[in-house]
Structure 1
Amino acid sequence: MLTINREKCIACGMCVKICPFRIIGIDKSEAKPVPSIVPNMEASCWACGHCEAGCQQGAIKLENGLPGENTVLLNELKVSPAQFEQHLRGRRSIRHFKEGPVDITVMKELIDIVRFAPSAGNLRPLHWLVIYDRKQVHSLVALAIDWIKQKLESCDTILPDYKWYEH
């Protein structure tokens, strides 16, 4: 599942440090000590991609059947604390949207990016449905509102003073 290119590896130990399951180690008795999977720990690998993403040399390849799934995290693209702070402080909820659909190319790129979001056990249980037809969107919104109303009505013992307000 995991291969380490001995030629590229500089034995920095980053993969060892960031492996959440501690299945990678360095045998220092070798002539050129490089990381490898600790004996009898192969089955413990969840294919999370931490080792591959953290290897600045690109020496680790995770064979998880998903081409292009993991990407080496480049130091020059890391976000500084100031950049992260500015992003969070400047972020606002959007309540007014432009008329017209989002360009399909942009939508595909965004969905491709969000598939890298972490999930418990690296299972990624999310599925995406993109609907461009305005009537279908309004129909789904109406169904969601009806479902919420039904749930709130069944919770009157939990939230007795809560009233559903129509807009």
Structure 2
Amino acid sequence: MLIKVDTDSCVQCGICVKACPVGVITLGNSGPEALSENGCNRCGHCVAVCPKDALRHKYVDISKQKVIDSYPVIDAETAENFLRSRRSIRYYKKKSVPREQLLQLVDIARFAPSASNLQSVSYYIIENRTVLDELLESVMEWMEKQIATGEFHHSFPIHVDSWKNGKDPVFRGAPHLIVAAAPRELKNRRDNTVLNLAYLELYAGSAGLGSCWAGLFEFFAADNEEFISKRLGLKKGLVLSGAVLVGFSAERYLKLVERNQLQVSWVE
């Protein structure tokens, strides 16, 4: 049975029916009923929205649900400052992040929305800076080969020169890299990953950590799938779908910077 209802508590308000995104719940004589299990995407909306806590779902463990005292959870001004305070950090302290904190980052990332609630993103965390140094050398050698062919991104020569001068233009000296991977056949794997890693980055700042998308590494990974899959030990069927640097920031930003002027049109 997909859902069970405490008929003594249920007031048959129908809120759970309206909240179901795929329409597999209907309101019967004794309260909400499941029309079918097949269409349910296990999002948990029905359980979370019930004002009387009268509904239980086969795939939503009520013991793991967290009750919130009020909604919205934070006020608009706090939310604005929080979102605007996120920065791409490219200077890191030479200090490792405890494994527990790294796990917190990916744990919060899993709460991001995903297409059809498939929650299909997996994570591979590089803790050892030595591994990143090895990957850095592989990326730079690849860039040199790309430059030799005459077909390369305009920034590659700059990054190669930087590397030859002892700098790290790929991982920026970060102690850790968090790689996201998703099933190759999943159409929305990149979208899902971007949302997950956006959650991760936002949470990182509040946890006292810095982060930045590893774009150059992603360039390399896209052109060297087999190597990356083997080196990171990706499970069969998974491909790299995103990567983020993580560490303790060596810089502190004192202002919330402006962006380009808002461009908006009202469609009638």
TM-score, length-scaled by structure 2: 0.48
Map of 1:162 onto structure 2: 154
Cα distance in 1, alignment partners of residues 124 and 63 from structure 2: 21
Q: 1:125 to 1:101 in 2, by over 3 A?
A: same
* Structure possessing the higher relative contact order (Cα contacts under 8 Å, 6 or more residues apart): 2
Q: 1:21 to 1:94 in 2, by over 3 A?
A: same
Query: Are 1:34 and 2:35 matched, yes or no?
Result: no
Query: Are 1:134 and 2:126 matched, yes or no?
Result: no
Cα distance in 2, alignment partners of residues 138 and 48 from structure 1: 40
**Structure 1 residues 1-167: aligned runs within 5 Å:** 1-27=2-28, 30=29, 33-38=30-35, 41-64=36-59, 67=61, 71=65, 74-76=68-70, 78-144=73-139, 156=151, 162-164=154-156, 165-166=158-159, 167=162
Cα distance in 1, alignment partners of residues 64 and 148 from structure 2: 45
Structure 2 gaps of 5+ residues are 163-268
Q: 1:24 to 1:131 in 2, by over 3 A?
A: same
Cα distance in 1, alignment partners of residues 55 and 149 from structure 2: 53
Show CA shifts across 1:25-46 (max 9, x none).
223xx3xx522223xx332111
TM-score, length-scaled by structure 1: 0.72
Show CA shifts across 1:59-110 (max 9, x none).
333322x757963562526233322212122222222223221122222233
Q: 1:13 to 1:163 in 2, by over 3 A?
A: same
Contact 2:56 2:62 in 1 (8 A): no
Q: 1:106 to 1:141 in 2, by over 3 A?
A: same
SS in 2 for 1:16: helix
TM-superposed deviation, 1:145 = 5.1
SS in 1 for 2:38: helix
Q: Aligned-pair RMSD on alpha carbons?
A: 3.3
Contact 1:16 1:24 in 2 (8 A): yes
